[in-house]
Amino acid sequence: MSGQGSGGNVIAALASFFIPGLGQLLQGSFLKALVFFVLTAVFWVILLGWVFHLWAIIDAALYDPPKSSQRSYGY
């Protein structure tokens, strides 16, 4: 089970550190990845890209995958 603080989130956050949106792409959120990548690129032109870059890293680190509709009985 992966959730907040899992190894997958750490890897995604590191990926977003290097390329904004890459962490979201690794987690399967294509649209969110595209938005972070484009907004960060656009806002770096006016020196505010660091805001979206940091937001992308934090968003990847705090990702909580949707819960399955199936019940787990533990056996």
Domain that holds residue 44: 7-61
Contact 9, 58 (CB under 8 A): no
Contact 68, 60 (CB under 8 A): no
Q: Which two tokens stand for residue 39?
A: 């907004």
Residue 73 placed within a domain: no
pLDDT value at position 34?
Answer: 92
pLDDT value at position 1?
Answer: 40
- CB neighbours (10 Å) of residue 72? 7
**Count of structural domains within the chain:** 1
Residue 69 placed within a domain: no
* Average pLDDT over every residue of 34-54: 80
For residues 55 and 52, give the distance between their C-alpha atoms in angstroms, rounded to a whole number: 5
**Is the pLDDT score of 42 beyond 70?**
yes
Q: What percent of the chain has pLDDT over 90?
A: 3
For residues 72 and 57, give the distance between their C-alpha atoms in angstroms, rounded to a whole number: 31
For the stretch 5-29, pLDDT in tens is 567 788 888 888 888 888 889 888 8
Residue 2 placed within a domain: no
pTM of the model: 0.59
